[in-house]
Structure 1
């Protein structure tokens, strides 16, 4: 019902816009709000984009620029920040994919394949290696679970299959197929968009050293067969043809030997570039039509569910949206526009099936906790949404973050809708005073990422070693004494009692000097090494 209403709303909006005086193609957006726009290299121009989520949950856009790769932190869409720029050969074409904490970058002008180490983020990223087994490549794809990278050469070359068993030193294991423009792979099955040959080649690389053709699917009245992407359930394949007037086709491939077109789509500008499928939607970079989002939940009746136009000027052709990336757990979607850079958007239609994080309590004060002791609190992470909540990281930040830590139920974890997950956070102060920190929870909630919980506590009873003295507080005697100060009225700190019970020394708390401080005196045989550092907090 919701999807039917969404479809009717989009169609009505489009009809009203067409009826308006002076309407031109590609105005505004529908169901796709803008969250950030970055245009740092307007004189250079842009090409493709990809996304990367770091182990701490922070999200990055990897943006292809004519002169290199821009790595942009988009975790906070109110403040997108370029972390670094990795220079490369000047090229109108640049393609980027990730494996583990590496980004692999190719281009059409030479220099081999750059391998960028992302493990230093959020502080930095650096070029770690360059693969020189080929000089140029137009597109690459990585079958992550199988550690295989597939590289297309220069339009009319076959496909190279490279093992990433050593991510910094890829090894070519085979070279297969005919003309190739782009490639997609899953579970060792490779789908090749065969460009001017007008077909989709499907290959089995279970034995990567000996690829075998499964089937070649001819595209009827084909244009230039440009790219293809598999549905989540593997039953459908969506393909694009980079030829004006040629539709985006959704193929039913449940029987590969009898694949057929279930339905098709084309935006008003008439020229599609790349498609990516996630869940019930295809996210299409559609040149002058910007990003187009198509509902494919009913493969026999697909329809446009939303769009964001990055190129509102009149006209058509090879301008506007080059690439898209819809795979962040947070729901962010990237668009790379050839003229105006990076756009970060959300799709409101997908929000019908979004997680929604809540945490109880939202703030906790641990109260008075004795130095060297601990206090714990259990927080409930609740999913009030309609899709799984994927929590990638839960960390403490702030001025006293090192005295608060997650000690139970730590990330990563998944919370189904209407369920909860317990996180235990422990306060373990090491010095006296008021302490504050923030528990930051990184998840795929599209609206609150990170979700922040306030933490506070008051550390008391710090024991400090004053010195090694005798019973007359003289330095030279047959017996040594260690004097520690702590707040009066408190129990003797447990770490001191533990040492006394172990026979290390005896204790006398009678040496109180005033109403706010007391002394604990431990006696030791003279000449022994003092087991506690003088002048430092006593926290063994």
Structure 2
């Protein structure tokens, strides 16, 4: 007896990134040892793009599939094909115009090579299973250079696209997420380190020649005119002079408004995929003084923690005419708010941490909460954890991997009253009223512990981190800037 396991989602839900999978069970219902994959509806969030300039064809890695689009009229893109499917998310695409080949970095499925000579009927030529998670790919001559998260840089000979062969690799500790090849060098965005520069003049024996460590987590990289442009997840744009690949030098940085995921550079501008904000355009005509030129995002909301009034959502797409978009009244006093993905995390006094779904700006809804033993005054978040400044109860660490069910997993006491918190790398920075700045190691979120402190002269009430500096609102002593 055959059966199909499927999602009951309708078309609207499918557009919201549901992956629709078909599985066939043979030899009787429930025979779990005889299961065969039939197919899937793979499309989801757009994670990668490539472009055929000659034919004005775009490729969009969408979830576990690729859309091929006719962009001859950029104002009216038209679907050409959606037949490239995978079982893994497609993180990177590289198109070779001369041979009409599309290389796909497909996470655990490795590297795939497709013939796009006929965009209506793309043909898979081959695949190569890399040892790690295939995140990105770039091509030089007959070699594909793969950023293989967990397994470094892999060099694949694609001179015969039907039979790719690995010829070399460089695999230090680290997580390679993005690669750009210029001349004899591969420039890597390493999540945990920053910039790595690898000499690939001998593809069989790639060797690292230098690195530059960044604050935050490097997610993507572009190289233009002797400069490497990296986006670090938490700290925005970093520009590094790589005119001497053996001695990269910091040039400047520019903090963006959200989580920086991706970057491309064209002419005098860097275009950054900036999380919830949308597209951030940065003028880099003077690399030593980058300036944010504009944002493009729909809509453009501001979120205000308004004491007894709760969470206010304000549409500031027209900064000269802000308009109220939505309101959620929390049970206590809203002191601080952080936005991550489609959720607002509110430090709500005696009510602890509140989680508000803001996917509908006009109708924010509470979906989860976590009681804290003290009085929640400040909050900061990372991908998985919320860090709450809980007045007399110090720092509370809350697992928010399931926003509907946040739960405390760790805490660290402070000598006075924890008023606010900021997080950078593996540290939480607490302003602790008359006890100044407390630095807490959160590399193990279940066991946070203090590793340093600085006693400010006033009453430390608020904090922000930018780069290697902490900016502290210190009561009557005004602003204090501390090198951390």
Q: TM-score, normalised by structure 2?
A: 0.51
Aligned partner of residue 202 in structure 1, secondary structure: strand
The residue aligned with 1:129 is: 125
The answer for unaligned runs of 5 or more in structure 2 is: 1-12, 19-43, 304-338, 344-358, 360-484
Structure showing the higher strand proportion among its residues: 2
1:223 is aligned to 216
Residue aligned with 1:114, SS: strand
How far apart, in 2, do the equivalents of 1:127 and 1:256 lie? 38
- Among 115, 118, 141, the residue aligned to 2:116: 118
CA contact (8 A) 2:144 2:155 kept: yes
**Which string of whole-angstrom CA distances, capped at 9 and with x for unpartnered residues, describes residues 149-199 of structure 1?**
11122x322110112222333221101032222211111201122222x23
Rounded Cα–Cα distance in structure 2 between residues aligned with 1:319 and 1:74: 30
- Contact kept? 2:103, 2:137, Cα under 8 Å: no
Match of 2:260 in 1: 272
Structure 1 counterpart of 2:240:
251
Residue 161 of structure 1 corresponds to which residue in structure 2?
A: 155
- Counterpart in the other structure of 2:165: 171
Distance 2:218 2:208 in 1: 18
| Contact kept in structure 2, 1:47 and 1:92, CA below 8 Å | no
Q: CA deviation at 1:98?
A: 0.9
Matched residue, 2:60: 63
1:181 corresponds to: 177
How far residue 302 of structure 1 moved from its aligned partner, in angstroms, is: 0.9
Counterparts of 1:60 and 1:319 in 2: how far apart (Å)?
32
Task: Tell me the CA shift for residue 312 of structure 1.
Answer: 4.3
Aligned to 2:368: none
The answer on whether the counterparts of 1:156 and 1:181 sit within 8 Å (CA) in structure 2 is no
User: Which residue pairs with 2:228 in the alignment?
Assistant: 237
Provide the alpha-carbon RMSD of the alignment: 2.7
Q: Check the 8 A contact 1:283/1:292 in 2, yes or no.
A: yes
Aligned partner of residue 288 in structure 1, secondary structure: helix
Is the Cα contact below 8 Å between 1:106 and 1:139 reproduced in 2?
yes
Change (3 A) 1:103 1:61: same
**Aligned-residue offset at 1:93:** 4.5
Relative distance call for 1:255 and 1:186 in structure 2 (3 A) is closer
1:204 is displaced (CA, Å) by 0.8
8 Å Cα contact 2:128-2:164 kept in structure 1: no
Cα distance per residue 1:229-255 (max 9 Å; x no partner): 111x2x211111123xx1311112234
Task: Pick closer, same or farther for the CA change 1:134–1:255 going to 2, 3 Å.
Answer: closer
Equivalent residues of 2:230, 2:239 under 8 A apart? yes
SS in 2 for 1:85: strand
CA deviation string 1:443-494 (max 9, x = no partner): xxxxxxxxxxxxxxxxxxxxxxxxxxxxxxxxxxxxxxxxxxxxxxxxxxxx
Aligned length: 268
**CA shift in 2, pair 1:163/1:194, >3 Å:** same
Asked whether the equivalents of residues 106 and 136 of structure 1 are also in contact (C-alpha less than 8 Å), the reply is no
Q: Name 2:398's counterpart in structure 1.
A: none
Map Cα deviations across residues 299-354 of structure 1 (whole Å, 9 max, x no partner). Answer: 1111122332156466743479xxxxxxxxxxxxxxxxxx9xxxxxxxxxxxxxxx
- Higher relative contact order (Cα pairs below 8 Å, separated by 6+ residues): 1
1:289 corresponds, among 241, 263, 277, to: 277
- CA 1:319–1:272: 2 relative to 1, 3 Å: farther
Could you state the TM-score of these two structures normalised by the residue count of structure 1? 0.46
Q: Which runs of 5+ in 1 are unaligned?
A: 1-38, 321-338, 340-540
Give the conservation status (yes or no) of the 8 Å contact 2:232–2:261: yes
Mapped partners of 2:115, 2:154: distance in 1: 23
CA distance in 1, matches of 2:266, 2:228: 12
Contact 2:282–2:292, Cα closer than 8 Å, also in 1: yes
Paired position in structure 2 for 1:302 = 290
Q: Using a 3 Å threshold, how does the CA distance of structure 1 residues 319 and 261 change in structure 2: closer, same or farther?
A: farther
The 1-side partners of 2:298 and 2:113 are apart by 30
User: Judging changes above 3 Å, is the alpha-carbon distance between structure 1 residues 229 and 152 closer, same or farther for their aligned structure 2 residues?
Assistant: same
> How many Å apart are 1:117 and its aligned residue?
1.5
Higher helix share: 1
**Alpha-carbon shift at residue 135 of structure 1 (Å):** 6.7
**SS at the partner of 1:105?**
strand
Cross-structure match for 2:138: 142
Runs of 4+ residues deviating >4 angstroms: 310-315
